[in-house]
């Protein structure tokens, strides 16, 4: 099987997710004490930066199956936005406010974007038939 050379998209995506998860654990393990937000902010920025670099590197891959990528990503995004909204609802239900709420909300946004891109990349990297209409449905 001949294969196009790709950047380490999955590895970087998992790193971005791991940074978000560590930030979430850091914040949630301090409740309800006052928690210094610096480390959580740094982890969030690092995660978002890794995700941005990852997508930028992918954009440079010639001939990448972007139609397939977007087709899968939009449905996965809908699903993961729903789960992110559920988590956000739980935070609001528990009266989380202020800095921790902002950081956790932004972390959820990164999560809701990162996971669909990982799924979409894994599908699109093996795509050979983007123009095949029978391949276009998720059902």
Partner 1 sequence: MVEIAAPPSAAAESGPPAAPRLDFEIVPRKGLAIVAVVMVLLIAAIADNKLWPLEFFHVAGGAGWTIIDLFLGLVLGPIIGRMSIPARVEFTTKLMPKMVLIMPTVVTATLASGWQLSTMLGTNLSSSPEHGWIVASFIVVGVMAVLALGLLEPANVAVLFELKKPKPNGEVIERLMKRFIYCAGVLGVMQVATLVIMTKLAST
Q: How far apart are CA 106 and CA 120, in angstroms?
A: 21
x/- site string to partner 1, residues 18 to 57, per CB under 8 A?
Answer: x--xx-xx--xxxxxx------------------------
Burial pattern 117-133, b for ≥16 Cβ within 10 A else e, equals: bbbbbebbbebeeeeee
Q: Under rule CB under 8 A, which residues in 81-120 are in contact with partner 1?
A: 82-83, 86-87, 89-90, 93-94, 115, 118-119
Q: Which of 37, 46, 81, 122 binds partner 1 (CB under 8 A)?
A: 122
Least Cβ distance, residue 82 to partner 1 (angstroms): 8
Task: Using CB under 8 A, pick the residue from 72, 108, 110, 113 that binds partner 1.
Answer: 72
3-class DSSP string for 33-102:
CCCCCHHHHHHHHHHHHHHHHHHHHHHCCCCCCHHHHHHHHHHHHHHHHHHHHHHHHHHHHCCCCHHHHH
Binding region for partner 1 (CB under 8 A): 1, 10, 13-14, 17-18, 21-22, 24-25, 28-33, 72, 75-76, 79, 82-83, 86-87, 89-90, 93-94, 115, 118-119, 121-123, 126-129, 132, 134-135, 137-139
């Amino acid at each position: 099987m001949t294969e196009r050379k790709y950047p380490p998209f999955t590895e970087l995506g998992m790193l971005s997710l791991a940074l978000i998860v560590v930030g979430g654990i850091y914040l949630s393990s301090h409740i309800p004490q006052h928690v210094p937000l610096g480390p959580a902010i740094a982890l969030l920025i690092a995660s978002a930066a890794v995700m941005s670099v990852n997508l930028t590197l992918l954009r440079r891959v010639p001939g990448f199956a972007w139609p397939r990528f977007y087709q899968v990503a939009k449905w996965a995004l809908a699903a993961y936005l729903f789960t992110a909204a559920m988590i956000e609802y739980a935070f609001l239900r528990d009266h989380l406010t202020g800095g921790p709420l902002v950081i956790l909300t932004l972390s959820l946004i990164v999560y809701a974007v990162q996971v669909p891109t990982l799924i979409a990349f894994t599908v699109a990297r093996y795509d050979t038939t983007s123009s095949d209409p029978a391949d276009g449905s998720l059902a």
